[in-house]
């Protein structure tokens, strides 16, 4: 596994400019198989490098994710990748939104030194607002929990990186954390934007034919720039500004129109975010969301990497790498996720082969 990881790292650096930043522990340590842990190997204890501030003196990086039993394997791989590639892993704090507190047990057993914060998310808070989308997984209440991050996190947390569970980070996450949200008059959210994407396809004909609704995308006092698509699986959020601007309520208002008036979109929690924030996003380099690796939302067919450097790989879409690897029908890009998989059954299969 160590030699495989070295080869993968070399390929990424050579072909895509990925910065591979290790901490003070060798990647080979991650292949050990301790006796404890509910289904996952225990990860090594990553420690700060020599260039990091003294313990407690540096700025903490806050990362929020959801904990769902169906995506737990992906969440653990994402956490492992973040810790492995940041030079100051002890300065990273994780915040998990979970429907059940026991869903955090596997994370604590795999990373016993992390001490993450876990918040129970009540599905009833949003279940009555959800309308059917193109894929059942997108209709789960936890998929909407990101709307309420500002209401959930402690007031002391003023900025947070939200990440989906189907990502791996192959660069120092502090680079994403340092994006300037104060530029250009201040922004609530920073994320990679994709202005070449056909924006109209994310909304129905009923939306575009209603002047009252479609006018929301008109540039004006509340829409500084032309609205562009952004993926909500990777966002840097100014939590204080989100609260002050009532953004949770604004997203809910669009969900209410969808639920109670007419069907204006069909892709889960993404469209209401676009309705509220598109054109107001602080753009981030595309290297921080190489998305779409899970294919489309219906078939999940294989896709190749986009050209350019990569700092974060995102298997958005139907196809998830752990499922495709288990069924022995992986896409080529799924092998880039595999080195971060700490699931014991996967390791046993690799050893047998």
Please, which residues have CB within 8 angstroms of residue 250's CB and are 6 or more apart in sequence?
A: 276
Per-residue confidence (pLDDT) for residue 267, from 0 to 100: 79
Q: Residue 168: which H helix or E strand, with range?
A: strand 167-169
pLDDT confidence tier of residue 44, bands split at 50, 70 and 90: very high
- Rounded Cα distance, 277 and 214, in Å: 14
SS (H, E, C) 182-196: CHHHCCCEEECEECC
Per-residue confidence (pLDDT) for residue 137, from 0 to 100: 62
> Is 335's pLDDT higher than 50?
yes
> Is 321's pLDDT higher than 70?
yes
- How confident is the prediction for the chain on average, in pLDDT? 86
Q: Are strands 312-314 and 92-98 parallel, antiparallel or unpaired?
A: unpaired
153 contacts 239 by C-beta, under 8 angstroms: yes
Q: Output 350 or 149, whichever has higher pLDDT.
A: 149
> Is 291's pLDDT higher than 70?
yes
Model confidence over 186-243: pLDDT tens digits? 999 999 999 998 888 899 999 999 999 999 988 666 666 788 999 999 999 999 999 9
pLDDT confidence tier of residue 105, bands split at 50, 70 and 90: very high
The superfamily CATH assigns to domain 61-285 is Spore Coat Polysaccharide Biosynthesis Protein SpsA; Chain A (3.90.550.10)
Name the pTM for this structure. Answer: 0.87
Per-residue confidence (pLDDT) for residue 36, from 0 to 100: 40
- Rounded Cα distance, 222 and 328, in Å: 49
- Rounded Cα distance, 191 and 163, in Å: 11
Q: For residues 279-297, give the mean pLDDT.
A: 94
């Amino acid at each position: 596994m160590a030699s495989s990881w070295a080869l993968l790292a070399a390929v990424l650096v050579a072909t895509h400019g990925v910065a591979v930043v290790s901490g003070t522990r060798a990647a080979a340590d991650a292949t050990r198989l301790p006796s404890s842990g509910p289904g996952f190997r225990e990860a090594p204890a990553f420690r700060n490098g020599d260039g990091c501030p003294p313990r407690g003196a540096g700025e903490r990086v806050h990362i929020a994710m959801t904990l769902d039993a169906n995506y737990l394997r992906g969440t653990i791989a994402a956490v492992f990748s973040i810790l492995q590639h940041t030079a100051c892993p002890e300065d990273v704090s994780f915040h998990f939104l979970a429907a059940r507190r026991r869903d955090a047990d596997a994370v604590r057993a795999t990373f016993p030194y992390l001490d993450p914060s876990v918040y129970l998310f009540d599905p009833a808070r949003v279940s009555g607002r959800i309308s059917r989308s193109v894929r059942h997984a997108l209709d789960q209440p936890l998929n909407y929990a990101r709307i309420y991050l500002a209401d959930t996190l402690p007031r002391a947390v003023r900025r947070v990186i939200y990440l989906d569970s189907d990502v791996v980070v192959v660069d120092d996450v502090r680079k994403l954390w340092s994006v300037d949200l104060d530029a250009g008059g201040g922004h609530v959210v920073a994320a990679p934007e994709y202005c070449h994407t056909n924006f109209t396809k994310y909304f129905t004909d009923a939306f575009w034919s209603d002047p009252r609704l479609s006018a929301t995308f008109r540039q004006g006092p509340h829409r500084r720039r032309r609205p562009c698509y952004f993926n909500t699986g990777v966002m840097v959020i100014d939590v204080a500004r989100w609260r002050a601007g009532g953004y949770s309520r604004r997203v809910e208002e669009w969900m209410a129109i969808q639920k109670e008036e007419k069907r204006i979109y069909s892709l889960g929690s993404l469209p209401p975010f676009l309705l509220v924030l598109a054109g107001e996003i602080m753009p981030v380099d595309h290297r921080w969301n190489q998305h779409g690796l899970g294919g489309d939302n219906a078939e999940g067919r294989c896709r190749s990497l986009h050209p350019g450097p990569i700092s974060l790989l995102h298997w958005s879409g139907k196809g998830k790498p752990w499922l495709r690897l288990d069924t022995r029908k992986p896409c080529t890009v799924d092998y880039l996720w595999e080195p971060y998989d700490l699931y014991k059954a996967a390791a046993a299969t690799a050893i047998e082969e």
